Copies of this chain bind each other. A is one copy, B any other.
Amino acid sequence: MFLGYTGGLKLESFNMVANHAIRQVAEDAIFGANTQAQKAISEYGFNNVINGTIGVFLDDEGILVTFDSVFNALRELKDESFAAYAPLNGINEYLDTAIKTTFGDYKPDGFIEAVATPGGTGAIRHAVWNYSSWGEEILTSDWYWDPYNTIATEHGRKISTYKLFDEKMNFNFEDFESKVELLLDKQKRLIIIINSPAHNPTGFSLSYDEWLGIIEMLKRKASSNQNKIVLFIDIAYIDFCEDESRRFLSLLSNLPKNILSIVSYSMSKGYTFYGLRSGAIIGVSSNKDVAIEFKNACSHSNRGVWSNGTRCAMEVLTKIYRDESLLEKVEKERNHYKEMLKIRANSFMKASEEVGLEICPYKDGFFISIPSNDPIGLAKELSKEKVFLVPLEMGLRFAVCSVSQEKCKITPRLIKEAMKRI
Protein backbone atom coordinates (compact mmCIF):
# COMPACT_ATOMS: atom_id res chain seq x y z
CA MET A 1 0.00 0.00 0.00
CA PHE A 2 1.05 3.56 -0.63
CA LEU A 3 0.83 5.49 2.60
CA GLY A 4 1.42 8.92 1.16
CA TYR A 5 -1.11 11.41 -0.09
CA THR A 6 -4.11 10.56 -2.20
CA GLY A 7 -6.64 12.88 -3.78
CA GLY A 8 -10.29 13.38 -3.13
CA LEU A 9 -10.99 14.65 0.39
CA LYS A 10 -13.68 17.30 0.51
CA LEU A 11 -13.91 19.62 3.51
CA GLU A 12 -17.69 19.47 4.00
CA SER A 13 -17.87 20.51 0.36
CA PHE A 14 -16.02 23.78 0.98
CA ASN A 15 -12.52 23.99 -0.42
CA MET A 16 -10.42 27.08 -0.80
CA VAL A 17 -7.81 25.23 -2.89
CA ALA A 18 -8.47 24.68 -6.57
CA ASN A 19 -9.88 21.24 -7.47
CA HIS A 20 -6.57 19.78 -8.63
CA ALA A 21 -5.03 20.64 -5.25
CA ILE A 22 -7.50 18.85 -3.00
CA ARG A 23 -5.33 16.36 -1.12
CA GLN A 24 -6.11 13.77 1.49
CA VAL A 25 -3.27 13.43 3.93
CA ALA A 26 -2.24 10.09 5.35
CA GLU A 27 0.65 9.65 7.72
CA ASP A 28 3.96 9.27 5.95
CA ALA A 29 4.98 5.60 6.24
CA ILE A 30 8.67 6.32 6.84
CA PHE A 31 7.99 9.02 9.39
CA GLY A 32 5.44 6.86 11.21
CA ALA A 33 7.76 3.86 11.44
CA ASN A 34 10.64 6.01 12.63
CA THR A 35 8.51 7.65 15.32
CA GLN A 36 7.66 4.20 16.68
CA ALA A 37 11.32 3.20 16.62
CA GLN A 38 12.41 6.35 18.46
CA LYS A 39 9.81 5.67 21.13
CA ALA A 40 11.13 2.12 21.57
CA ILE A 41 14.72 3.40 21.77
CA SER A 42 13.83 5.83 24.55
CA GLU A 43 12.05 3.03 26.39
CA TYR A 44 14.42 0.08 25.89
CA GLY A 45 17.71 1.70 24.92
CA PHE A 46 19.47 1.98 21.57
CA ASN A 47 21.19 -1.40 21.81
CA ASN A 48 17.91 -3.27 22.25
CA VAL A 49 16.15 -1.76 19.25
CA ILE A 50 16.76 -2.26 15.53
CA ASN A 51 15.70 0.88 13.68
CA GLY A 52 15.88 0.07 9.99
CA THR A 53 13.72 3.01 8.92
CA ILE A 54 16.23 5.85 8.49
CA GLY A 55 17.47 6.60 4.98
CA VAL A 56 20.65 8.49 5.83
CA PHE A 57 24.05 7.08 6.77
CA LEU A 58 24.34 6.50 10.53
CA ASP A 59 27.33 5.02 12.32
CA ASP A 60 27.00 1.92 14.49
CA GLU A 61 25.89 4.05 17.44
CA GLY A 62 23.10 5.65 15.43
CA ILE A 63 24.86 8.98 14.94
CA LEU A 64 24.54 10.78 11.60
CA VAL A 65 27.77 10.44 9.61
CA THR A 66 29.18 13.74 8.36
CA PHE A 67 32.35 13.83 6.29
CA ASP A 68 34.95 15.94 8.13
CA SER A 69 36.81 16.75 4.92
CA VAL A 70 33.63 18.17 3.38
CA PHE A 71 32.64 20.10 6.48
CA ASN A 72 36.11 21.57 6.87
CA ALA A 73 35.76 22.86 3.32
CA LEU A 74 32.32 24.25 4.14
CA ARG A 75 33.57 26.02 7.25
CA GLU A 76 36.49 27.58 5.39
CA LEU A 77 34.08 29.43 3.11
CA LYS A 78 33.66 33.15 3.73
CA ASP A 79 30.34 34.47 5.04
CA GLU A 80 29.67 35.86 1.60
CA SER A 81 29.61 32.35 0.12
CA PHE A 82 26.65 31.51 2.34
CA ALA A 83 24.97 34.89 2.06
CA ALA A 84 25.08 35.70 -1.65
CA TYR A 85 22.54 34.46 -4.16
CA ALA A 86 23.82 31.86 -6.60
CA PRO A 87 23.07 32.58 -10.26
CA LEU A 88 19.62 31.35 -11.35
CA ASN A 89 20.99 28.30 -13.14
CA GLY A 90 23.65 27.63 -10.54
CA ILE A 91 27.34 28.58 -10.45
CA ASN A 92 28.86 27.58 -13.81
CA GLU A 93 31.85 25.84 -12.30
CA TYR A 94 29.52 23.88 -10.03
CA LEU A 95 27.52 22.69 -13.02
CA ASP A 96 30.68 21.73 -14.91
CA THR A 97 31.89 19.83 -11.85
CA ALA A 98 28.55 18.11 -11.38
CA ILE A 99 28.73 16.92 -14.99
CA LYS A 100 32.34 15.81 -14.54
CA THR A 101 31.72 13.83 -11.37
CA THR A 102 28.45 12.36 -12.62
CA PHE A 103 29.98 10.80 -15.70
CA GLY A 104 33.56 10.21 -14.52
CA ASP A 105 35.37 8.23 -17.22
CA TYR A 106 32.12 7.49 -19.03
CA LYS A 107 31.02 10.87 -20.34
CA PRO A 108 28.69 10.29 -23.27
CA ASP A 109 29.21 12.04 -26.61
CA GLY A 110 26.64 14.72 -27.25
CA PHE A 111 25.44 18.05 -25.98
CA ILE A 112 25.33 18.15 -22.21
CA GLU A 113 23.62 20.91 -20.22
CA ALA A 114 22.95 21.25 -16.49
CA VAL A 115 20.90 23.42 -14.15
CA ALA A 116 21.19 23.42 -10.34
CA THR A 117 18.24 22.03 -8.37
CA PRO A 118 17.51 21.45 -4.66
CA GLY A 119 18.66 17.81 -4.51
CA GLY A 120 17.42 15.09 -6.81
CA THR A 121 13.76 15.84 -6.06
CA GLY A 122 13.97 19.19 -7.79
CA ALA A 123 15.47 17.53 -10.87
CA ILE A 124 12.63 15.02 -11.04
CA ARG A 125 10.12 17.86 -10.69
CA HIS A 126 11.57 19.79 -13.62
CA ALA A 127 11.64 16.69 -15.83
CA VAL A 128 8.08 15.64 -14.95
CA TRP A 129 6.72 19.14 -15.42
CA ASN A 130 8.47 20.06 -18.64
CA TYR A 131 8.45 16.75 -20.47
CA SER A 132 4.95 15.41 -19.85
CA SER A 133 1.47 16.84 -20.20
CA TRP A 134 -1.46 17.03 -17.80
CA GLY A 135 -2.95 13.63 -17.01
CA GLU A 136 -0.15 11.65 -18.64
CA GLU A 137 1.51 8.60 -17.12
CA ILE A 138 5.14 8.44 -16.11
CA LEU A 139 6.71 4.98 -16.14
CA THR A 140 8.77 3.52 -13.32
CA SER A 141 9.17 0.10 -11.68
CA ASP A 142 6.61 -1.35 -9.27
CA TRP A 143 9.13 -1.13 -6.45
CA TYR A 144 9.68 2.61 -6.32
CA TRP A 145 10.50 5.57 -4.10
CA ASP A 146 7.15 6.92 -2.90
CA PRO A 147 7.87 10.61 -3.64
CA TYR A 148 7.85 9.81 -7.38
CA ASN A 149 4.13 9.45 -6.86
CA THR A 150 3.85 12.68 -4.87
CA ILE A 151 5.78 14.60 -7.53
CA ALA A 152 3.56 13.16 -10.28
CA THR A 153 0.34 13.78 -8.34
CA GLU A 154 1.38 17.32 -7.40
CA HIS A 155 1.69 18.14 -11.09
CA GLY A 156 -1.40 16.34 -12.36
CA ARG A 157 0.50 13.33 -13.72
CA LYS A 158 0.25 9.65 -12.75
CA ILE A 159 2.79 6.97 -12.03
CA SER A 160 2.42 3.79 -14.07
CA THR A 161 4.59 0.79 -13.24
CA TYR A 162 6.22 -2.25 -14.81
CA LYS A 163 7.29 -5.29 -12.83
CA LEU A 164 10.91 -4.75 -11.82
CA PHE A 165 11.57 -8.46 -11.27
CA ASP A 166 10.39 -11.62 -12.98
CA GLU A 167 9.61 -14.80 -11.05
CA LYS A 168 13.29 -15.65 -10.77
CA MET A 169 13.96 -12.19 -9.34
CA ASN A 170 15.81 -11.08 -12.48
CA PHE A 171 15.19 -7.77 -14.23
CA ASN A 172 11.85 -8.11 -16.00
CA PHE A 173 12.82 -6.76 -19.39
CA GLU A 174 9.72 -8.19 -21.02
CA ASP A 175 7.28 -6.37 -18.78
CA PHE A 176 9.34 -3.19 -19.05
CA GLU A 177 9.25 -3.26 -22.85
CA SER A 178 5.55 -4.03 -23.00
CA LYS A 179 4.72 -1.09 -20.72
CA VAL A 180 6.96 1.27 -22.72
CA GLU A 181 5.14 0.17 -25.87
CA LEU A 182 1.71 0.51 -24.29
CA LEU A 183 2.32 4.03 -23.03
CA LEU A 184 4.02 5.22 -26.20
CA ASP A 185 1.10 3.96 -28.25
CA LYS A 186 -1.24 5.86 -25.99
CA GLN A 187 0.71 9.07 -25.33
CA LYS A 188 3.42 9.27 -28.02
CA ARG A 189 5.47 10.91 -25.27
CA LEU A 190 6.93 9.09 -22.29
CA ILE A 191 9.12 9.82 -19.30
CA ILE A 192 10.75 6.68 -17.93
CA ILE A 193 12.32 6.98 -14.47
CA ILE A 194 15.00 4.41 -13.76
CA ASN A 195 16.65 4.54 -10.35
CA SER A 196 19.88 2.64 -10.90
CA PRO A 197 22.46 1.84 -9.65
CA ALA A 198 21.51 1.30 -5.99
CA HIS A 199 17.76 1.42 -6.44
CA ASN A 200 15.67 2.74 -3.56
CA PRO A 201 14.07 0.67 -2.00
CA THR A 202 15.56 -2.64 -3.26
CA GLY A 203 19.28 -2.02 -3.75
CA PHE A 204 18.99 -3.49 -7.25
CA SER A 205 21.38 -2.24 -9.96
CA LEU A 206 20.99 -2.89 -13.66
CA SER A 207 24.05 -4.53 -15.23
CA TYR A 208 25.84 -2.96 -18.18
CA ASP A 209 24.31 -5.59 -20.46
CA GLU A 210 20.84 -4.91 -19.13
CA TRP A 211 21.37 -1.20 -19.85
CA LEU A 212 22.56 -2.10 -23.33
CA GLY A 213 19.33 -4.00 -23.90
CA ILE A 214 17.24 -1.10 -22.59
CA ILE A 215 18.96 1.48 -24.78
CA GLU A 216 18.66 -0.70 -27.88
CA MET A 217 14.98 -1.25 -27.17
CA LEU A 218 14.35 2.47 -26.68
CA LYS A 219 16.14 3.19 -29.95
CA ARG A 220 13.75 0.80 -31.69
CA LYS A 221 10.78 2.56 -30.13
CA ALA A 222 12.24 5.90 -31.22
CA SER A 223 12.46 4.80 -34.84
CA SER A 224 8.94 6.13 -35.10
CA ASN A 225 9.48 9.89 -35.24
CA GLN A 226 6.14 10.37 -33.56
CA ASN A 227 7.51 9.04 -30.30
CA LYS A 228 9.36 11.19 -27.80
CA ILE A 229 11.16 9.43 -25.00
CA VAL A 230 12.76 10.96 -21.93
CA LEU A 231 15.00 8.52 -20.11
CA PHE A 232 15.34 9.89 -16.58
CA ILE A 233 18.12 8.23 -14.60
CA ASP A 234 18.04 8.77 -10.84
CA ILE A 235 21.55 8.12 -9.52
CA ALA A 236 21.04 9.49 -6.00
CA TYR A 237 23.19 6.75 -4.41
CA ILE A 238 25.85 6.28 -7.11
CA ASP A 239 28.65 7.79 -5.00
CA PHE A 240 28.36 4.71 -2.76
CA CYS A 241 28.86 2.33 -5.71
CA GLU A 242 32.02 1.23 -7.53
CA ASP A 243 33.23 3.55 -10.32
CA GLU A 244 32.44 0.75 -12.76
CA SER A 245 28.76 1.34 -12.04
CA ARG A 246 28.99 4.53 -14.13
CA ARG A 247 30.02 2.61 -17.26
CA PHE A 248 26.47 2.43 -18.63
CA LEU A 249 26.37 6.25 -18.84
CA SER A 250 28.54 6.12 -21.96
CA LEU A 251 25.61 4.36 -23.65
CA LEU A 252 23.78 7.70 -23.70
CA SER A 253 26.02 8.72 -26.63
CA ASN A 254 24.52 9.55 -29.99
CA LEU A 255 20.96 8.54 -29.32
CA PRO A 256 18.30 9.75 -31.76
CA LYS A 257 17.11 13.29 -31.11
CA ASN A 258 13.72 12.06 -29.92
CA ILE A 259 15.39 10.36 -26.96
CA LEU A 260 16.53 12.84 -24.32
CA SER A 261 18.53 11.43 -21.44
CA ILE A 262 18.32 13.19 -18.10
CA VAL A 263 20.49 12.35 -15.12
CA SER A 264 19.77 13.72 -11.65
CA TYR A 265 22.79 14.69 -9.63
CA SER A 266 22.64 15.08 -5.84
CA MET A 267 25.12 16.09 -3.14
CA SER A 268 22.87 14.69 -0.41
CA LYS A 269 24.41 11.26 0.07
CA GLY A 270 27.85 11.50 -1.53
CA TYR A 271 28.83 14.58 0.52
CA THR A 272 26.48 14.11 3.53
CA PHE A 273 24.78 17.35 2.46
CA TYR A 274 21.18 16.08 2.76
CA GLY A 275 19.95 19.22 4.53
CA LEU A 276 21.68 21.71 2.24
CA ARG A 277 19.53 20.84 -0.78
CA SER A 278 22.01 20.81 -3.62
CA GLY A 279 21.78 18.86 -6.83
CA ALA A 280 21.43 19.33 -10.56
CA ILE A 281 19.42 18.19 -13.53
CA ILE A 282 21.74 17.12 -16.36
CA GLY A 283 20.48 16.64 -19.91
CA VAL A 284 22.25 14.71 -22.68
CA SER A 285 21.18 14.92 -26.30
CA SER A 286 22.75 14.28 -29.69
CA ASN A 287 20.89 17.38 -30.87
CA LYS A 288 22.09 20.83 -29.92
CA ASP A 289 18.65 22.44 -30.12
CA VAL A 290 17.18 19.81 -27.83
CA ALA A 291 19.95 20.43 -25.31
CA ILE A 292 19.42 24.20 -25.45
CA GLU A 293 15.68 23.75 -25.12
CA PHE A 294 16.37 21.58 -22.05
CA LYS A 295 18.53 24.27 -20.47
CA ASN A 296 15.97 26.99 -21.22
CA ALA A 297 13.05 25.00 -19.86
CA CYS A 298 14.88 24.13 -16.63
CA SER A 299 16.14 27.68 -16.27
CA HIS A 300 12.58 29.00 -16.57
CA SER A 301 11.45 26.39 -14.09
CA ASN A 302 14.13 27.41 -11.58
CA ARG A 303 13.04 31.04 -11.68
CA GLY A 304 9.39 30.06 -11.60
CA VAL A 305 9.58 27.65 -8.68
CA TRP A 306 12.39 28.34 -6.19
CA SER A 307 14.55 31.08 -7.83
CA ASN A 308 18.04 29.72 -7.18
CA GLY A 309 19.99 27.13 -5.22
CA THR A 310 22.04 26.91 -2.03
CA ARG A 311 25.24 28.72 -2.90
CA CYS A 312 27.54 27.39 -0.16
CA ALA A 313 26.96 23.77 -1.18
CA MET A 314 27.83 24.58 -4.80
CA GLU A 315 31.02 26.30 -3.68
CA VAL A 316 32.04 23.31 -1.59
CA LEU A 317 31.78 21.01 -4.60
CA THR A 318 33.88 23.27 -6.80
CA LYS A 319 36.40 23.66 -3.99
CA ILE A 320 36.77 19.91 -3.61
CA TYR A 321 37.33 19.36 -7.31
CA ARG A 322 39.82 22.20 -7.58
CA ASP A 323 42.04 20.64 -4.93
CA GLU A 324 43.26 17.13 -5.65
CA SER A 325 44.41 16.42 -2.13
CA LEU A 326 41.06 17.53 -0.72
CA LEU A 327 39.26 15.34 -3.24
CA GLU A 328 41.40 12.43 -2.13
CA LYS A 329 40.47 13.06 1.50
CA VAL A 330 36.77 13.16 0.65
CA GLU A 331 37.03 9.95 -1.34
CA LYS A 332 39.00 8.23 1.39
CA GLU A 333 36.41 9.17 3.95
CA ARG A 334 33.54 8.13 1.70
CA ASN A 335 35.28 4.85 0.87
CA HIS A 336 35.46 4.02 4.55
CA TYR A 337 31.67 4.20 4.78
CA LYS A 338 31.22 2.57 1.40
CA GLU A 339 33.12 -0.40 2.83
CA MET A 340 31.02 -0.31 6.00
CA LEU A 341 27.87 -0.33 3.89
CA LYS A 342 29.10 -3.35 1.95
CA ILE A 343 29.91 -5.24 5.15
CA ARG A 344 26.48 -4.45 6.62
CA ALA A 345 24.66 -5.47 3.44
CA ASN A 346 26.70 -8.65 3.05
CA SER A 347 25.90 -9.62 6.63
CA PHE A 348 22.22 -9.09 6.00
CA MET A 349 22.29 -11.06 2.75
CA LYS A 350 24.31 -13.94 4.21
CA ALA A 351 22.00 -14.20 7.21
CA SER A 352 18.98 -14.07 4.89
CA GLU A 353 20.33 -16.98 2.92
CA GLU A 354 21.05 -18.94 6.08
CA VAL A 355 17.51 -18.61 7.41
CA GLY A 356 15.87 -18.86 3.96
CA LEU A 357 14.51 -15.30 3.86
CA GLU A 358 13.70 -14.18 0.34
CA ILE A 359 14.95 -10.67 -0.37
CA CYS A 360 15.04 -8.56 -3.52
CA PRO A 361 18.32 -8.86 -5.45
CA TYR A 362 20.50 -6.31 -3.65
CA LYS A 363 23.61 -5.03 -5.37
CA ASP A 364 24.38 -1.56 -4.00
CA GLY A 365 23.02 1.27 -1.97
CA PHE A 366 21.31 2.23 1.24
CA PHE A 367 18.33 -0.19 1.25
CA ILE A 368 17.34 -3.85 1.06
CA SER A 369 13.73 -4.90 0.50
CA ILE A 370 11.88 -7.99 1.64
CA PRO A 371 8.82 -8.95 -0.43
CA SER A 372 5.66 -9.54 1.60
CA ASN A 373 1.95 -9.90 0.95
CA ASP A 374 1.17 -8.20 4.23
CA PRO A 375 3.77 -5.48 4.80
CA ILE A 376 1.79 -3.64 7.47
CA GLY A 377 1.04 -6.82 9.41
CA LEU A 378 4.65 -7.92 9.17
CA ALA A 379 5.97 -4.53 10.25
CA LYS A 380 3.59 -4.58 13.21
CA GLU A 381 4.64 -8.10 14.20
CA LEU A 382 8.32 -7.10 13.97
CA SER A 383 7.75 -4.03 16.11
CA LYS A 384 6.87 -6.40 18.98
CA GLU A 385 10.46 -7.62 18.72
CA LYS A 386 11.64 -3.99 18.71
CA VAL A 387 12.57 -4.24 15.03
CA PHE A 388 11.32 -1.40 12.82
CA LEU A 389 11.16 -1.44 9.03
CA VAL A 390 9.22 0.72 6.59
CA PRO A 391 6.13 -1.00 5.15
CA LEU A 392 5.84 -0.35 1.41
CA GLU A 393 3.23 -1.54 -1.05
CA MET A 394 5.05 -4.76 -1.93
CA GLY A 395 7.16 -5.46 1.12
CA LEU A 396 9.37 -4.02 3.82
CA ARG A 397 12.33 -1.69 3.38
CA PHE A 398 15.37 -2.15 5.60
CA ALA A 399 17.96 0.65 5.71
CA VAL A 400 21.43 -0.95 5.82
CA CYS A 401 22.81 2.60 5.72
CA SER A 402 21.73 3.21 9.29
CA VAL A 403 22.06 -0.15 11.12
CA SER A 404 25.23 -1.75 12.49
CA GLN A 405 26.64 -4.99 11.04
CA GLU A 406 25.79 -6.79 14.24
CA LYS A 407 22.15 -5.85 13.98
CA CYS A 408 22.09 -6.46 10.20
CA LYS A 409 23.18 -10.01 10.98
CA ILE A 410 20.32 -10.85 13.34
CA THR A 411 17.49 -9.01 11.56
CA PRO A 412 16.78 -11.60 8.80
CA ARG A 413 16.07 -14.34 11.38
CA LEU A 414 13.70 -12.04 13.26
CA ILE A 415 11.88 -11.20 9.99
CA LYS A 416 11.66 -14.87 8.99
CA GLU A 417 10.21 -15.80 12.38
CA ALA A 418 7.74 -12.91 12.34
CA MET A 419 6.59 -14.03 8.87
CA LYS A 420 5.73 -17.45 10.29
CA ARG A 421 3.64 -15.93 13.05
CA ILE A 422 1.40 -13.72 10.87
Contact = CB atoms under 8 A, between A and B. Distances in A.
Contacts of A23: 296-297, 300
B79 A16 contact: no
Given A21-B297, A56-B85, A276 B312 contact: yes
B189 A18 contact: yes
A12 B122 contact: no
B275 A84 contact: yes
Contact of A66 (B16, B80, B121, B273): B80
Contact of A277 (B20, B189, B277, B290): B277
A221 to B, nearest CB: 15
A83 B153 contact: no
Contacts of A250: none
Copies of this protein in the complex? 2
Contact of A307 (B21, B88, B147, B297): B147
A150 B277 contact: no
Interface stretch (A128-136, A324-332, A356-364): A128-136
A387 to B, nearest CB: 23
- Most-contacted residue by chain B among A23, A75, A292 (CB, 10 A): A23
B306 A277 contact: yes
A25 B80 contact: no
Contacts of A81: 275
Nearest to A65: B83
Contacts of A260: 16
A159 to B, nearest CB: 12
Contacts of A422: none
- Most-contacted residue by chain B among A83, A121, A276, A290 (CB, 10 A): A83
Contacts of A134: 20, 134
Contacts of A189: 18
B301 A154 contact: yes
A56 to B, nearest CB: 7
Contact of A300 (B14, B150, B308, B309): B150
A290 B11 contact: yes
Given A118-B277, A275-B310, A303-B147, A294 B16 contact: yes
Contacts of A224: none
Given A131-B17, A275-B312, A121 B296 contact: no
A272 interface: yes
Return the 9 tightest CB-CB contacts between A and B, nearest first.
Answer: A154-B304, A275-B311, A21-B130, A121-B307, A66-B79, A118-B306, A11-B289, A150-B304, A66-B83
